[in-house]
Amino acid sequence: MLFIKVTFDQDSYQLHKLLLVSQHSFVIGECMKMSFAGGVDHVGSLGMIMESGDTRLLFDYGLTPGKPPTYPMKVPHTDALFLTHSHLDHIGMAPWLCGEYGTTIWGTEATLEVAVVLLQDSLKISRLESYPIPFDVSDVRRFTEESTIIKYGDRAFVGPFTVKTMDAGHIPGSTMYRVDDGGNDVVFTGDINTVDTRLTTKASPPKCHTLVMESTYSGRPHPSRKQVEKAFLEKVKEVLERGGNVIVPAFAVGRTQEIVQILDGIKIEKWLDGMGRRVAQIYLRHNEFIRSAGSLKKALDQFTFVKTPYQRAKAAEAPIVVTTSGMLDGGPVLQYIRRHKDNPKTAILLTGYQVDDTNGRMLMDSGSIEIDGEIEKVKCEVCHFDFSAHAGHDELLKFAEGAKPDEVILVHGDNREMLANDIESFAKVHLPTLDSTFNY
């Protein structure tokens, strides 16, 4: 089904993709057809296609981060792309779509602005790591030109479709979409969170006939947010009291802004390094998407921002530094770890899920990390805190129940069966693959 041919020349790369669109399709009611371009049975490269008559919509079009990343299937001409939120597994292929078809992009202001930051960063990393990606600077420019802002509660009209936005509670600006073609009613959740965090307000389940829901945490419950915050702050205090440094790797989008607010009560020298600062400024500019602009601003004011190598050297000696990347696969965090790796008093406090084959996972499993191609033993204490921005198993189940759907289509998870078993007690469940076809 999937065939990608890449050629690379000295001046510019060209990616020739010969891909077939998924054969998997759902036909809803009279004329609405749904299929997927990727991301159904794993967390990454999500893309859902909806067609009615001559109109084709796409909901998310992401890639799976990696060196190099992997991609979803190529989609045919698409009239509009609706982005749920600015994580690369949901937005990564949007510039390709703009360059290829001039597709209109819909998203909230927070999603669209942060997306540009991430897409430019993807181009930079691909240059540094010397691998090709299927879009260039002009495609990212096209992305900005084709962007159309949508707010919560707004409706977009494309062909026979009406698309309505709702808060998804995952990160600032994250959106669920209700899609209606005059007879059918489908909700696409993107990624959701159903508990309040310092940064975001929880999502509520919308009543619908067909619920297309993420299932990242199927089979995995979360501890309560309050407990996680308490344990995190106790560990920070313990490390400071024993004279160690606290290194907090955090994802730039969402997690960094939450962590700086959690650290608000710790009055000591704190530094912030990496892309999280730029993202925080976007959130402060569009503060309707965050719970409290005042709280985020007050928390950020206590941090000194790293802008130069000299400042980074100073930050490395400071009691607390919050920095990217969250999974230790590059970014300034590696310099901080290199500086402190032989100090058992220092602690590395991981604040997000560590995917297999990342430096963060290797550190948790073996106590070692790769820096500049060398495997280094790390003597620091390493702790992991479950600050997920996704609903856990029990919350996903409750959310699905609250939507009172007839049908639930589970996507974006590598262990969907456990959640499917629980949902089957109140709705018909589908676990689509890219090769199978369902009609109903």
Binding site for Zn ion (CB under 5 A): 87, 191
Closer Cβ to Zn ion, 73 or 88, answer by number: 88
Measured between its terminal Cα atoms, the distance across the chain in Å is 24
Helix ranges (DSSP H) in 268-332 = 276-285, 293-301, 309-316
Tell the smallest beta-carbon distance from residue 281 to Zn ion (Å).
20
Tell the smallest beta-carbon distance from residue 41 to Zn ion (Å).
17
Tell the smallest beta-carbon distance from residue 390 to Zn ion (Å).
7
Closer Cβ to Zn ion, 90 or 312, answer by number: 90
Task: Give how far Cα 350 sits from Cα of 66, 147, 164, 251, 406, Å.
Answer: 19, 34, 36, 10, 39
Q: What is the DSSP string of 145-201?
A: HHEEE--TT-EEEETTEEEEEEE-SSSTT-EEEEEESSS-EEEE--S---S--SS--
Tell the smallest beta-carbon distance from residue 39 to Zn ion (Å).
11
Angle ∠(110,112,116) on CA atoms, nearest 5:
115
Closer Cβ to Zn ion, 100 or 191, answer by number: 191
Tell the smallest beta-carbon distance from residue 197 to Zn ion (Å).
13
Other Cβ atoms closer than 10 A to 342: 12
Given a contact cutoff of 8 angstroms between Cβ atoms, the answer to whether 203 and 167 are in contact is yes
Tell the smallest beta-carbon distance from residue 170 to Zn ion (Å).
6
Helix (H, G, I), strand (E, B) or coil at 292: coil
Q: How far apart are CA 275 and CA 262, in angstroms?
A: 19
Closer Cβ to Zn ion, 87 or 277, answer by number: 87
Closer Cβ to Zn ion, 282 or 315, answer by number: 282
- Rounded to the nearest 10 degrees, the angle between the axes of helix 109-129 and helix 137-146 is 180
Helix ranges (DSSP H) in 102-162 = 109-129, 137-146
Tell the smallest beta-carbon distance from residue 225 to Zn ion (Å).
17
DSSP class of 372: T
Name the residue with tokens 């919560």: 152
Closer Cβ to Zn ion, 256 or 346, answer by number: 256
Q: How far apart are CA 437 and CA 434, in angstroms?
A: 8
Closer Cβ to Zn ion, 108 or 335, answer by number: 108
Tell the smallest beta-carbon distance from residue 217 to Zn ion (Å).
12
Closer Cβ to Zn ion, 64 or 335, answer by number: 64
* Strand intervals (E) in 215-361: 246-249, 270-272, 303-305, 320-323, 347-350
Q: HSE of 188 in the Cβ direction (CA atoms, 13 Å)?
A: 30
Tell the smallest beta-carbon distance from residue 114 to Zn ion (Å).
11
Given a contact cutoff of 8 angstroms between Cβ atoms, the answer to whether 194 and 169 are in contact is yes
Closer Cβ to Zn ion, 191 or 395, answer by number: 191
